[in-house]
Structure formats: C-alpha cells, structure tokens
A and B are shown apart, each in its own frame.
Chain A
C-alpha cells in the first residue's frame, strides 16, 4: 500500500525535442516548436550580450569559417561577433570576383576549408543551393548565410524574433511582405518561418516580380496555402501588424521587369500614407541595405514604427543561438 496514494500523476513537460541539428540550410525543415526554441535561446543570448564580460566558453576550441562569395559586411560581421562571444575561433574567407574567375571551383574551395578542420562553415554564395552542395560534400556543419535567391534562414529567424519580442507573439499577426518576391531569399525563408508560426502572410509585389506559380494561389495541401497574394499595396497593408519591405535591385528595371523605379516607388513604396492604413502599432521592417526613397521613405525607415535597427541588433543574438544549436549537434565525432 503506497503511502502516497493522494499524489497526483506526474506532470508532463514539453516533449524531448531538440534544436540540435547538423546544418541550417533553410527554415523549411524546422518545426514551429524548434523555431520557438531558437527564439527562446536568443533571449538567453541577448542576456549574454548585455553583460560587461561578453564571453561564454560554449564553443571554445571550435573553428568557424565564414565563406562569403558575395560581399556583405553586415551579415559576416554579425556571424563573426556571434562566434567570438561564444569563444570560437573565427576565420574569414572571402572570395573576390577575381579568384573565382581564376577558376577555383566551390568544390575545391570547400576541400581547402575542410583541411582547415572547420567545425562550422557559414556560407554566403550567389548560387542557390550552394550550402546544400557543401553539406553534401563536407563533414563540417553548414550554416546558410544567404544563397542566391533561395534562402536566408538567419535573417528570417531574426525577423521572427523581432516580431515576437515586439508583440509577444507571432500567431495570427498579419504580416505584409512587399517588393521583389521573385528574387528574394529573405521572402522565401520568411514565408516558411511565418507560416509555421501561424502568422497571416500577405505577399504584395508587381506582377512581374512574383513567381508565376504563386499568383494562382496554392492548393490546400501546400505549406503556403494560407498565404494570400495581391498586387495592391493598400489591400496588403490594411490592418497589418507588420510591414516587411524588401530591397529592390536596380537591375530589375533594366532587365525589363519594371518600367521605372519611379512607378515602383509610387505603387509599392512604404510611406506615411501606407503606415496609416496599417494597425496603430505596426512594425516596419527591412532586411537591409535600404534604398531610401524607393522601397521605403526615409522618415518611415527611421521613424517610431521602424524595427530596422532592432533587426540588426537582434542579428548577433540569433546567430549565437544558431551556432549553439549546430555546435551542440556535432559531438566529439572528430
């Protein structure tokens, strides 16, 4: 006879899920719970960044190589800072146009890096699928810092983190993503992330800058079934909680997709009129760098609704959480 007959059954906690993963290629292979874990860990990482001694030994002895085939100071520095706060050794390898022209293939570059015994490679490359290619051929963990117009998972995660820390939640929030959806890796990764977290996503772009198969809407079984598409900015931002403006590359106009930047800006630029249509506490976001006056007015970009600066600040903490997730998956298998 147990003396504890009155004790209630054991409390069940959240399932034993792990965010440890070998690679971070895109958000399509994260569950909502896993995304939430990254966001939760980001809070802890923010705390570490706020200390006077901004260093923890978690990744001590690990080597992180940043391989950037596309110029990007901001993202690269963000990853570098993240790695260093975690006490990792960070080596930066950037490939200028000239060395690629000399014919050094990505494959050969990768083998060279492997011989450096990199634990983690953070890669940015103009060709979609490059991180997948590296993951296939190398032993190291691969983190995608932006490939072609396929994916940019760390940007999407820091966008999700920015939204969540501002509103407290993501589920049910109306998020309008405005601009060149066709060529945006930020849009793609955010589509995965936002839909998984239950946000109500609206895509708004000129008809020539959205993938043709998106325009007809998605079948019910499609992961983006809840996403709506419009070419009308007012409709997109009406009562929106978040407006995410995307960068427009000038060559879109020169290659015949747009008549002029002026018309683009008139129809799709985020200005004070646009903001009035959204919710009062709307959050304005942009992955940067900003073409002020084209996709977003200067006063909006620097105004009270803008979370653009937070996005940059949050970037380091999010990337720390990602490095931690990847490092914790790679045991002493070496």
Chain B
C-alpha cells in the first residue's frame, strides 16, 4: 500500500518492460552475449542482474555469467552509516578481458558506481565496464553516466525514490516520496537503502 504523498512512477508492468528493453539494448550494443558478465550491486542490483541474465538466456540460448558485488569496503562515506553489514561479493569467472555490465536499481550521486569500479579493478582488467540502471534520478556528484536506463526520473534532493522488487519486497513498484513526510521516513529506512 502506498503511503499518503507516495507517488507511483513505475508499475510492475512498467518495470518488466523496462528491464526487457535494457536486456535487448545490452545485446544490441555488444553484438550478442559473448564475454558478458552481469554484475549486480547489493542489494536490489542483484535480482535485477539475475533477471537480465534470464531474459538474455531466453533470447540467445545461453545464460551469461552473473556476479554480485558489495561495495561497503570501497565506499568513501561508510562512516556513521547505520548498517555496516557487508554482503557477499562473488564473481563466478575472472573478469579479465570480459565485458562487465554493472547493474543497480537507482543511480543518484554516482559514488556507489565509482566505488564499484574501484572494486572491479582489484579483480582484474575488464575489457570494458558498462552501467545499467533501472532509475536515473539525477544529481551526479562524480562524472558517471549510465549506458542503459530504465527510466529517467528527475527529482529534487528533498524527494526519495523507492524501488521494490518481488525477490526482496514481495511486490513490484517504483515510487517517489517527498522526504519531509515523516511516516515515509520509517518505511524508507526499512525498505530502501540510502542510495548515493
């Protein structure tokens, strides 16, 4: 149930279509799925990465490798964060000379992606690193630009974006809320990682 003031931006159908489109775009740009490694950023980037891999499998006949990345140890802002819990990082194959597609749910300041690139560099030298995001909400603080975008949602800093995915949240939606709404603050803390 949406809270008062919470606005629906993408419905579950919209989400599904956007992800499918991104999968197609990835294949188009890279001329197929060879040497592709889809790496999802914790938390919601991971199910998104899996979905992209599944769609690509249905289109190409073979499933690309899927990895997960936790960037906690690479953040420049982990001080005082409420939950310094580090989740697993798993890269199923060496990324040497592979095309790595990083996947995340929301792109905001870009710092998470910068940290992710630092992490990837420690694992080896990829042939190229591309970025797929479900939502781009603007307000970049570092020079990062996505290659694949589900939807551009211009926001103000007083608003917050919430992405819900079935694998984690039991339902699907992308919503927008003004941050001053105190009720929303609670639910945002519980269900949405502070995306930077």
Q: Which A residues form the contact surface with B (CB < 8 A)?
A: 2-5, 7-13, 16-20, 37, 40-41, 43-45, 47-48, 51, 53, 55-58, 86, 324-325, 327-332
Contacts and interface: CB of A to CB of B under 8 A. Distances in A.
A150 B64 CA distance: 53
A86 to B, nearest CB: 7
Instruction: Give the one of A8, A10, A57 with max B CB within 10 A.
Output: A10
Interface of A is mostly: loop
B173 interface: yes
Interface residues on B, range: 20 to 34
Contact of A41 (B86, B119, B168, B170): B86
B191 A328 contact: no
Interface stretch (B25-33, B72-80, B127-135): B72-80
B70 interface: yes
Given A9-B1, A86-B73, A16 B191 contact: no
A10 B80 CA distance: 26
Contact of B86 (A3, A51, A324, A331): A324
6 closest residue pairs by CB, A with B = A44-B86, A56-B73, A58-B73, A328-B84, A331-B79, A53-B122
Given A10-B187, A10-B191, A324-B84, 20 more contacts: A4-B173, A5-B1, A7-B2, A8-B171, A9-B1, A11-B169, A13-B191, A16-B82, A20-B81, A44-B73, A51-B122, A53-B122, A53-B123, A55-B122, A58-B73, A58-B78, A86-B73, A328-B79, A328-B81, A331-B79
B57 interface: no
Contacts of B88: 43-44, 47
Contacts of A10: 1, 169, 187, 190-191
